[in-house]
Structure 1
């Protein structure tokens, strides 16, 4: 293997197509779906949607890239991106023209079609119906930007357009995770049969209630869409066979015929071998994904029985496996997404979070890593792309060879895998009532959230907690926005004790979070009757038996929904530590003086003196228990608020700590803060990471600070750490880092990930992007090309402390 650790000629050719083809907007999917959706007007929504989606699958253009081993395309043209009109608002002219000024190729003809489709969907989609229910208070909250971005108009609130690849229709407010191991051994024909049998049992004499009638419609929709998926796979079988007949290269002809045979069998029937299993899972992924967070599952576990069988029979070797894995990486690299307006600032750099979860324990608690765990890491080493990402589950028995293999990949600088603690994730899940055997089978969804097969639990929203804190400091008024946003919780100058100050701050933050819950409730009620996607729940093991769409069925495990309360929370904790020490304990400054200084953005000699005092107070990340405990108290306060609010799913909300790149626009909405931060300056990244440049003692101190936070109470939390390449020169260096990771994972840490790059390279890449086109960095729960990030996020990555 050591002599072949680079891309094969096949992979190089596909890589060149993926990297060098312009991103081309397409309206094929939307046009076909809309054409049929209009035709079936008047039918029950779930049947209407299934028929329109089936029509789209029957007619959307398909293709196979030269040399590809896996059939299926995420868009109607190579490196295309499919415009969406029914999820996050409709496309406006300024949004389309803005994209044309970036990296997207939009023809005049497609732009005109986008305007036409926008006119139709503006009257159909639930997003506009949602805002029709908003009262004045909810609009004041929505316009604040607490849920990024700032929304000054209805069109901005609706999202101003979205584009994302995949064949799914499902709006992304809820996410339903399938059981990959179950469906790959079952096949869609079995699911169709189960739906037909349930329909036969529910004959006309047994339809007594609206619920019974709705179940009939759901079952019919399941059959419609599953049959369409089989036809769609057979279209690829026909195409592969046609290309094989015209192919003069014997090796490629054989590959195409094998591809054709696989597409004839899966996903209609259970996969028979490794090749068919990979093909099956990719088809299902495309049908499940029209968003950026769909997980790829525990593929080293799901594929392992097929791998062992094929290796034993002599029809598979590791080099072929690695080619399939690299093809799969390049498949996910073809997934593109963007949005109109300012929303894309929250996920700068073509952010995606489609990840493969590796390692961890099995249902009995034993180490589950295997040969495929190593091979997935090796495939990423050979084919160094930002996507798909890798997540390595770590526990006390994780073999050192697996950790060292992972760190070998980390050392390349592509920012993966992330390291995830089995102890912390499984504890969170079992605390929510998930059986231990099921909790041990968790996979990572989105950035680093935990979910289990046939569960759901996706983190909603980028909630800027520092905006709420800034409003608290000004009695509900936002200095940046120049208007009253939150309630009047009192003049901080008149608060007698720190306990009163802390309690009032939580009161202001609760107001913002409760408005988020109200938004979610209204969103759930307005969305669930429009564009119901039958496919995800059709492949649940109990899909036909339950016979309900995803919005209406009770999910087996109460993992979500979840609010993201991590944007700026470290800054708030640091600020509160400053206020407690300088104002209430040592009394070296008054609250009047502090407020005057932050309102002046620290300008002036006296205000700069006060800022110096604020900066001198220890900050989170330096193993200072006093400030670490304060950050923990803020997190616990926010988690308590979330867990006290009833969700639209009949559960309480969970809490999570993520930022993606929202700490940049979130910081822009926040005035100067008592931790010494300037107005509009970027907030701390990752949500468990120290604020940029404030951790000065070393990595062990950062780890000690992080484990004082209540990470086990969070569904997910991001911890970024930047290492200089010189820190991983030797095998001994890597072993030390492996032990640090294991210690952190077993001591309360939930997740950690690394950038390995020197400061000079990043600075030069920002100044001379043409010389660093392939430089990959870890941003949040994803890696991306550094040069594709916005300038502010580039600078934020540069400013992170390097060890």
Structure 2
């Protein structure tokens, strides 16, 4: 293999790296037990891996070819993957650290990748094969130091024992509540539902396991039938290829009825399974297969069979067939892709999924797949035969729905088999009912609540077989299931039987919630720092208005709230719409009571304000009223909208740093942006000239991220179109277009703009201290920032005490925040996505406010280097001691600039002297005040910093402690230390 880079004098570290690579090569060349891993079902795993330092003091390559491993000094001509280290110390650390630490160094920009990340993960896997004992020892030590190795069985028992919450009764009934005597359902507790209690115990004590079923079956089909071309060598229509693969998967996956469950079907073959999508980002776990059971944060079990199947049969097939590699090959490894791979400025979710949408559940529940297939066939008849693209797309939709029916029939057979062998009469009746249900739905229309819930779950399993389980959401389930609840109860006249049915409905929805916990998204260890603690974020939305503009709160609204309160689990992610014009205080107080009792959920949205943010988008009024949250908090038009509302996490502070440094990003050491002014040369004569520089850098980064998102969208069209969900999203059948190609009635892309408060406060510091009051020169401010305020304590104190911040009630700070949100809105609104829709700006952060903070230096706001940003658009903790000042400022932001919604976090601590009623009344008063002022969204953490600190020290006592991060829920004890500290350091307000 030719070597093109062998510059002069090399360092001692370079020599050691060469010896290390030779040690790895010797092991694989000499040890038969290792040599087997050099080959897969598709042949030898041939690739070249290289390392180098930025100054060239280290340059080494190792290449794998036809079962032999060779090492060369220097950089091979075109390495498939390369790590570029910041310095020699980073090289030394990488040599002995486990794969999770290597990926952390990537995130921290102590090194960066060039080329195929899949091959980097394969190299990590090979290193683990040789160094496994050393790596596992380090991981176990880290877990012990971090107190992550407690007994989950005992912790879950303690959690259940403590799950006792006070209960209020409804003071009055909502007009839409037809059958519940007390809409708060206060007579029920978890102890009344032994089945749910047992499912919850399993959820808390069971470690997730990686499941190979989906990737193994799909890869087998594609290997046998072709991916780019069919077996005859002809080009394959992507929609038809995906449809036939999905049908094969649904026909052949194992039909499982979970023990004692009321709902048929599972996402994986495991009790709690990690679903793999090698067709997207699944190869990211390749390097951790041997170590992931031992990692301190959110470990996964993985059995030897799974490791062998993934390494031998799955990952090699997909290493070049995924979204990142499609862009790298087809678009020439563009700058926008390199920016995403550095993590500091953005994270593009379309490398993982095209998700965050809601299908038309009411339609499929009403018509069944048979009815939708009839609609498809009617459209096919009316389509000219020459329009092959449309006909192929329609045929693909039909094939997918056939696969779903096959899966349901297999479940029906399995349930009958279990019923025939079941000795317990009551359980035999349940299994017989499940068998009957699955023989009917989702093929045919649903007529009962049991049928509707089972149909929804089977459909949901299909969604996660076709698409990555990242933010696909369930929508307005209280609205869509209420007709079945009413129809069932209208057939019952006996009051005792009606009460028994209500209890059954609670238990059925509880089973549905626990089904939603049977799977987790694949999170390589780096993900524990980017979006730690997040599960699939399957949002359910309750209450608000009907499409006709009436009060939407009903019986099922309160059933869902009861289940949310009893189980207090992180997923589904419950969001509540509150219409200040139509919804009652009875409903609002119940939302607040559930928040108090769970400590973190549901998130509350003001209907009128959310809809005002959507008015310019061209949605019909009745469609706009039918919005629901997806993923975290983002508004989507149910069943008609392909919005991918979390297409990117965008670090606005990166643009601010580039404005401070004339286009250079300090951590990335990259002169990336345009030259907008040199502070040291006095280029900025006034505040406006600096704001213009910031705006220029923001537009530049927004343009790059939109470009990459569009390229990735094209990759989805080629590699993984989605005919299954297309068949259930309005507009796609009529247009005969897959939703990845713009077939939905409404199309858009949504961004999460991170760092609003930090930027606003930094701009205020510059405006006040540098330009208005001239307390400090701009070069002096920059020097203080660049040195993390060392030797600038007086300036830091001045910033902390003299600069009015967003959230303090200062009119100018609020105006600045509005100016920044408008700038971000206008930046993204100016771009059109690959499906013909516009980009929307939102201000929430998942947990990336912590990750991006780690990757950011000090700021003029006084925030020190590496510290977390504020979550979502929440004001800085010291902005004001008054919660009302925070509330007024956030409510004062113009919703028209925030059409992808916001996350406003408040940490409140009830007084120990107040009754439960008083606490709920106080919380409700604050929420109502915020809503009346025009606030868009609010989420509460009803927990003290003292409790959170104790949970850090004694995690075994707090396994089920639920916290709201920024748009999603997590268990506090599963978070990394930086995220835990960010939660602890949030402003804490008494009630």
1:330 deviation in Å?
0.8
Match of 1:273 in 2: 448
SS of 2:970's partner is strand
Residues 292 and 300, structure 2, Cα contact 8 Å, conserved in 1? yes
Equivalent in 620, 623, 628 of residue 806 of structure 2:
620
1:131 deviation in Å?
1.8
Residues 350 and 788, structure 1, Cα contact 8 Å, conserved in 2? no
Residues 614 and 896, structure 2, Cα contact 8 Å, conserved in 1? no
Tell me, yes or no, if structure 1 residue 129 matches structure 2 residue 316: no
| Structure 1 spans left out of the alignment, 5+ residues | 151-156, 160-170
Match of 2:713 in 1: 524
1:91 deviation in Å?
3.7
Match of 1:145 in 2: 343
Tell me, yes or no, if structure 1 residue 235 matches structure 2 residue 394: no
1:724 deviation in Å?
0.8
| Structure 2 spans left out of the alignment, 5+ residues | 1-184, 231-235
**What are the within-5 Å matches in structure 2 for residues 339-488 of structure 1?**
339-340=523-524, 342-396=526-580, 397-453=582-638, 454-457=640-643, 458-488=645-675
Cα distance, 1:175–1:756 mapped onto 2, change above 3 Å: closer
Cα distance, 1:135–1:276 mapped onto 2, change above 3 Å: closer
In structure 2, distance between residues paired with 1:730 and 1:14: 28
Match of 1:214 in 2: 389
In structure 1, distance between residues paired with 2:327 and 2:334: 14
Match of 1:709 in 2: 893
Cα distance, 1:158–1:499 mapped onto 2, change above 3 Å: closer
Match of 2:741 in 1: 552
Match of 1:500 in 2: 689
Tell me, yes or no, if structure 1 residue 284 matches structure 2 residue 459: yes
1:480 deviation in Å?
2.1
Residues 642 and 739, structure 2, Cα contact 8 Å, conserved in 1? no
Match of 2:750 in 1: 562
In structure 1, distance between residues paired with 2:538 and 2:548: 27
1:456 deviation in Å?
2.0
Match of 2:85 in 1: none
Residues 63 and 77, structure 1, Cα contact 8 Å, conserved in 2? no
What's the TM-score, normalizing by structure 2?
0.76
Deviations 1:393-450 (A, max 9, x none): 1112211111111111111144111100111111222221101111111111111000
SS of 1:4's partner is coil
Tell me, yes or no, if structure 1 residue 603 matches structure 2 residue 784: no
Residues 30 and 85, structure 1, Cα contact 8 Å, conserved in 2? yes
Q: Which moved more, 1:617-626 or 1:132-141?
A: 132-141
Match of 2:906 in 1: 721
Match of 1:491 in 2: 678
Match of 2:369 in 1: 188
Equivalent in 248, 258, 264 of residue 55 of structure 1:
248
Cα distance, 1:97–1:590 mapped onto 2, change above 3 Å: farther
Match of 1:261 in 2: 436
Deviations 1:714-759 (A, max 9, x none): 1211011001132864424422322322232233211101011122
Match of 1:251 in 2: 426
Tell me, yes or no, if structure 1 residue 785 matches structure 2 residue 982: no
In structure 2, distance between residues paired with 1:684 and 1:351: 22
Q: Which moved more, 1:16-25 or 1:752-761?
A: 16-25
Equivalent in 310, 316, 320 of residue 488 of structure 2:
310
Q: Which moved more, 1:666-675 or 1:718-727?
A: 718-727
Cα distance, 1:732–1:175 mapped onto 2, change above 3 Å: closer
Q: Which moved more, 1:573-582 or 1:781-790?
A: 781-790
Question: Computing the radius of gyration over CA atoms, which structure comes out larger, 1 or 2?
Answer: 2
Residues 149 and 343, structure 1, Cα contact 8 Å, conserved in 2? no
Match of 1:163 in 2: none
Equivalent in 300, 304, 308 of residue 478 of structure 2:
300
Cα distance, 1:284–1:92 mapped onto 2, change above 3 Å: closer
Cα distance, 1:393–1:771 mapped onto 2, change above 3 Å: same
In structure 1, distance between residues paired with 2:589 and 2:897: 29
Cα distance, 1:5–1:26 mapped onto 2, change above 3 Å: same
Residues 276 and 522, structure 2, Cα contact 8 Å, conserved in 1? no
Residues 535 and 571, structure 2, Cα contact 8 Å, conserved in 1? no
Match of 2:936 in 1: 750
Residues 54 and 228, structure 1, Cα contact 8 Å, conserved in 2? yes
In structure 2, distance between residues paired with 1:149 and 1:643: 19
SS of 1:561's partner is strand
Q: Which moved more, 1:362-371 or 1:507-516?
A: 362-371
1:618 deviation in Å?
2.0
What's the TM-score, normalizing by structure 1?
0.93
SS of 2:410's partner is helix
Residues 599 and 943, structure 2, Cα contact 8 Å, conserved in 1? no
In structure 1, distance between residues paired with 2:517 and 2:188: 22
Cα distance, 1:599–1:542 mapped onto 2, change above 3 Å: closer
Tell me, yes or no, if structure 1 residue 104 matches structure 2 residue 300: yes
Cα distance, 1:472–1:542 mapped onto 2, change above 3 Å: closer
Cα distance, 1:18–1:650 mapped onto 2, change above 3 Å: same
Cα distance, 1:346–1:257 mapped onto 2, change above 3 Å: same
Q: Which moved more, 1:181-190 or 1:544-553?
A: 544-553
1:364 deviation in Å?
2.6
* Larger relative contact order (Cα-Cα within 8 Å, sequence gap ≥ 6): 1
Tell me, yes or no, if structure 1 residue 80 matches structure 2 residue 268: no
SS of 1:459's partner is coil
1:587 deviation in Å?
0.4
In structure 2, distance between residues paired with 1:770 and 1:141: 40
1:93 deviation in Å?
4.2
Deviations 1:759-782 (A, max 9, x none): 211101111212211211111211
Deviations 1:363-409 (A, max 9, x none): 23221101111111111122221221211111122111111111111
Residues 262 and 430, structure 2, Cα contact 8 Å, conserved in 1? yes
Deviations 1:27-48 (A, max 9, x none): 1110101111222222422112
Q: Which moved more, 1:349-358 or 1:319-328?
A: 349-358
Match of 1:731 in 2: 917
**What are the within-5 Å matches in structure 2 for residues 57-72 of structure 1?**
57-72=250-265
1:785 deviation in Å?
1.1
Tell me, yes or no, if structure 1 residue 672 matches structure 2 residue 858: yes
In structure 1, distance between residues paired with 2:246 and 2:338: 37
In structure 2, distance between residues paired with 1:123 and 1:346: 24
Residues 176 and 550, structure 1, Cα contact 8 Å, conserved in 2? no
In structure 2, distance between residues paired with 1:541 and 1:557: 9
Cα distance, 1:455–1:97 mapped onto 2, change above 3 Å: same
In structure 1, distance between residues paired with 2:669 and 2:897: 35
Deviations 1:570-603 (A, max 9, x none): 1010000010000000001110110111111111
Tell me, yes or no, if structure 1 residue 683 matches structure 2 residue 869: yes
In structure 2, distance between residues paired with 1:685 and 1:677: 14
Task: Give the alignment's Cα RMSD to 1 decimal.
Answer: 2.0
Match of 1:15 in 2: 200
* Number of residue pairs matched by the alignment: 774
In structure 1, distance between residues paired with 2:661 and 2:207: 48
In structure 2, distance between residues paired with 1:91 and 1:628: 42
In structure 1, distance between residues paired with 2:400 and 2:571: 29
Match of 1:225 in 2: 400
In structure 2, distance between residues paired with 1:378 and 1:337: 26
Equivalent in 325, 341, 348 of residue 509 of structure 2:
325
1:624 deviation in Å?
1.5
1:135 deviation in Å?
5.2
In structure 1, distance between residues paired with 2:491 and 2:337: 64
In structure 2, distance between residues paired with 1:136 and 1:531: 21
In structure 1, distance between residues paired with 2:850 and 2:795: 25
In structure 1, distance between residues paired with 2:408 and 2:317: 30
Residues 186 and 270, structure 1, Cα contact 8 Å, conserved in 2? yes
1:234 deviation in Å?
1.0
SS of 1:185's partner is helix
Residues 218 and 246, structure 2, Cα contact 8 Å, conserved in 1? yes
**What are the within-5 Å matches in structure 2 for residues 752-771 of structure 1?**
752-771=938-957
